[in-house]
Amino acid sequence: MAILLAFSGGLDTSFCIPFLRETRSEPVHAVTVDTGGVADADALKERALSLGAETHQLIDAREALFEDHLRFLIAGNVLRGHVYPLCVGAERVVQAREVAKRARQMGASAVAHGSTGAGNDQVRFDVALRALSGGAFDVLAPIREQERSRGESAAFLRERGFDVPSSTAAYSVNRGLWGTTVGGRETHTSRQPLPEDAYPDTTPPSESPDAPRTITLSFEEGRPTALDGQARAPVPLIERLAALGAEHGVGRGLHTGDTVLGIKGRVGFEAPAAKILIAAHRELEKLVLTKWQRYQKDHLADFYGTLLHEGQHFDPVMRDIEAFLDSSQEVVTGPVDVELFKGRARVLGCDSPFSMMDAGTADYGETHHAWDGRDAEGFAKITGLQPTLAGKARGAMREGAMRET
């Protein structure tokens, strides 16, 4: 029998390998599921083996992340608290799915992850792994079980001769295809900003280029398909867009919200590609969807994001919402121009073969061809009827009450 560890190479999962080897009699096998955060695969493997893992396997799941999750987050314009693009929640589902698959293949007795007892990831991993295990393996979380702080975990590794960079102990950084999250001393408060050097990849807006960069994103049925006229598959397009946005300081932010456990939490993030794509996609939808489509989408997408954030991806209602989102994207096609400048992504304009902005029907505020002045006057009279009647009724009620007094 063996233990399979979801291994990121960070402080917490680095702690897990020697700790599990010392406290359990089974060998530890490390699996890294790449959802966009692996920069040096060889170094990651070397670290896992040096820490005592029997084997290390790397699984590229970036395409699965897009197809199973990110395309729905784009379709729904999902930003938690209207700010945060859910950089991590979807990754954990993909990672859990791949780790569970590998655990079943090798007949592992347990799957371990490096989540603490305070954050959201413990719930996401536990719920997903238990939903996927079918009782075939146990789920272990050594950091949570030991209630260790980051300082204590770092000390544990140093005592055994393993190097721990000071930056690793100071900040918890999670890189992924959809963005990077940063947690540290400042995010444990509700007011302090992260220092500039805590953001690992984006240029500070004040130091970004003094000239703006205009790009054109193309969408087909809600999916990003080209950048500046060059066709790209979704994953390389997102990666290129992240690099462009990072150069111009786009995508930095801090989000305060409700954790899965019910307390308030705060996280720093940099997500250039997500912020640019969602801004562009939202503007294109305004051009091609009806107001009621957008109204229903906003509500369902917000609920979808909440459930994903809280580790409920496997609830069947998520498939129902995804079906609605897919249907809504049939006409979301066309180019969108976006200006990147000093930390901002500003949508300049868009076009679509399905545009509802038909100049042959009406020019807003000027001429009109589908109705005449009397039609407009009648419409205004009828559409204002209910507030007029309500005002009269409430006025009569107030007058009656005054007479009685």
CATH assignment of the domain containing 194: 3.90.1260.10
Classify each residue of 91-130 as buried b or exposed e, where b means 16 or more C-beta atoms within 10 Å of its C-beta: bbbbbbbbbbebbbeeebebbbbbbbeebbbbbbbbbbbb
Q: Are residues 165 and 293 in the same domain?
A: no
**How many domains does one find in the chain?**
3
Q: Same domain, yes or no, for 378 and 291?
A: no
Q: Which of 403, 281, 276 is nearest to 335 (CA)?
A: 281
Q: Do the domain assignments include residue 367?
A: no
Q: Are 144 and 114 in contact (CB under 8 A)?
A: no
Contact between residue 115 and residue 206 where contact means Cβ atoms under 8 Å apart: no
Task: State the pLDDT at residue 134.
Answer: 87
Of 146, 170, 269, 250, the C-alpha closest to 208 is 250
Q: Provide the CATH number for the domain around residue 22.
A: 3.40.50.620
The string of pLDDT tens digits covering residues 109-134 is 999 999 999 889 999 999 999 999 98
Residue 366 lies inside a defined structural domain of this protein: no
DSSP secondary structure string, 133-160? HTTSSEEE-HHHHHT--HHHHHHHHHHT
> Does any domain span residue 364?
no
Q: What is the pLDDT of residue 166?
A: 60
The Cα–Cα gap between 107 and 333 comes to: 46
Q: Which domain holds residue 43?
A: 3-170
Same domain, 33 and 143: yes
**CB < 8 Å & 24+ apart, contacts of 189-196:** 189/266, 190/256, 190/264, 190/266, 193/254, 194/254, 194/268
Query: How far is it, in rounded angstroms, from Cα 328 to Cα 315?
Result: 21
What lies within 8 Å, CB to CB, of 183 at 6+ separation is 171, 172, 173, 267, 268
Whether 197 and 268 share a structural domain: yes
Closest CA to 307 of 180, 127, 130, 117: 127
Chain-centre distance for alpha carbon 110: 28
Q: Nearest 5 degrees, angle CA 268-CA 88-CA 350?
A: 85
H or E element: which one contains 269? Answer: strand 264-270
C-alpha 102: how far from its chain's center?
25
- Residues 165, 186: one domain? no
Name the token pair of 49: 């083996």
| pLDDT tens-digit profile, the chain (405 residues) | 899 999 999 899 999 999 999 999 899 999 999 999 898 999 999 999 999 999 999 999 999 999 999 999 999 999 999 999 999 999 999 999 999 999 999 999 999 999 999 889 999 999 999 999 988 999 999 999 999 988 899 999 999 999 886 656 678 889 999 999 999 999 999 999 999 999 999 999 999 999 999 999 999 999 999 999 999 999 999 999 999 999 999 999 999 999 999 999 999 999 999 999 999 999 999 999 999 999 999 999 999 999 999 999 999 999 999 999 999 999 999 999 999 999 999 999 999 999 999 756 555 555 667 788 888 888 988 998 999 888 888 887 677 766 666
- Is 357 contained in some domain? no
Residues 336 and 386 in one domain: no
Domain match, 193 and 143 both: no
Q: Does residue 344 sit in the same domain as residue 248? A: yes
**CA pair distance 247, 205, nearest whole angstrom:** 9
Displacement of CA 254 from its chain's centroid (Å): 13
